[in-house]
Amino acid sequence: MQYRAEINVMPIKALLDPQGKAVENSMKNLNLSEINNVRIGKHISLSIEAKDEETAKEKVETACKKLLSNPVMEYYEYEIYKDVK
Amino acid sequence: MQYRAEINVMPIKALLDPQGKAVENSMKNLNLSEINNVRIGKHISLSIEAKDEETAKEKVETACKKLLSNPVMEYYEYEIYKDVK
């Protein structure tokens, strides 16, 4: 079975996010001062071949922990969908 | 009213995504060869102060077009939520 995972890897909330801060400041120059609390992270989308959703989830967990995120600075969240083709 | 936008800025599907390709190759070294079609983009989360959802949406559109995405190489998608505090 083919699954699709949509993963967000974001800077931990307690940490400053300098990239987000820079974007937030630039918003003011675009007359968008109503926008704040900007935080920027990564979005990863991938396909998984697995026998069931549980197995797919395990694989995504391993990928997030070992490769996609740095747990000292980032947290991750994801959703898994059945891929219909 | 306070709104929250969750924005994904992803490389256009017709384009090669070298960062995603690199991660896909690394998956093999982690015994995760079942994972493929990896694409990596940005995830941006931000707050908007606006009188209604329509106005919030317009502001997010402007921010995406003028600042957050490069339309030659990237597309964006977003969801807007009412922020309950």
- With an 8 Å Cβ cutoff, are A46 and B36 in contact? yes
- With an 8 Å Cβ cutoff, are A63 and B27 in contact? yes
Counting one residue from chain A and one from chain B, the pairs whose CB atoms sit within 8 A come to 98
Spatial CA neighbour of B35 closest among A79, A45, A82? A45
pLDDT tens digits, residue range A33-48? 999 999 999 999 999 9
Q: How many residues does chain A have?
A: 85
pLDDT tens digits, residue range B21-77? 999 999 999 999 999 999 999 999 999 999 999 999 999 999 999 999 999 999 999
Q: What tokens appear for A39 in the block?
A: 């935080």
Residue B29 CB neighbours (<10 A)? 10
CATH number of the CATH domain containing A62: 3.30.1280.10
Tally of domains within chain A:
1
- With an 8 Å Cβ cutoff, are B30 and A66 in contact? yes
Expressed as residue numbers, the domain containing B77 is 2-82
Strand locations in A1-85 (E): 2-11, 35-49, 74-82
- In the predicted structure, residue B85 carries a pLDDT above the cut 80: no
